[in-house]
Amino acid sequence: VPAGTPVGYERTYFTPKPTRIATLPIGYHDGFPLGQSNGGEVLVRGRRARVVGRVSMDYTMVDVGGTPGVAPGDIVTVVGRDGEDEIRVEEVARRLGTIPYAFLCGIGPRVRRVYHPEPERLPLSSTPLEASRRP
């Protein structure tokens, strides 16, 4: 998109330079909080991508201009590890001014759950949360 393009509801973000914006199929209905608007981060291809604009009910926009090769269908990590980087539940909770369990309890029913057979062996903060919709 060109520089100066408004992103999201209420035009709370304008692109400062030409960039690429990815639309993610996750929003506050899924438990991706409004507090992530204009500054939260996700991982795309092992790199952090900043949330731009306001998180909507069903979609979130992120700036992927600094990540080469991004394509439709790429996996986006909301919480967990991708490559060398990791977004921990504690990091998200701190940004939101809450506790990790409050964030986790807000994850909506449309988000697919993947249960590990031996959860006692995994620390809470390293369990990946894949924001994918049910078919």
Query: Kindly report the CA angle at 29 between 70 and 82, in degrees rounded to 5?
Result: 35
Q: What is the pLDDT of residue 114?
A: 76
The CATH code of domain 6-66+73-114+123-130 reads 2.40.37.10
Q: Are 112 and 30 in contact (CB under 8 A)?
A: no
Domain ranges of the chain: 6-66+73-114+123-130
- pTM assigned to the model: 0.82
Query: Can you tell me the distance from the alpha carbon of 85 to that of 11, in angstroms, rounded to the nearest whole number?
Result: 30
pLDDT tens track, the chain, 135 positions: 999 999 999 999 999 999 999 999 999 999 999 999 999 999 999 999 999 999 999 999 999 999 999 999 999 999 999 999 999 999 999 999 999 999 999 999 998 877 767 666 555 554 444 444 444
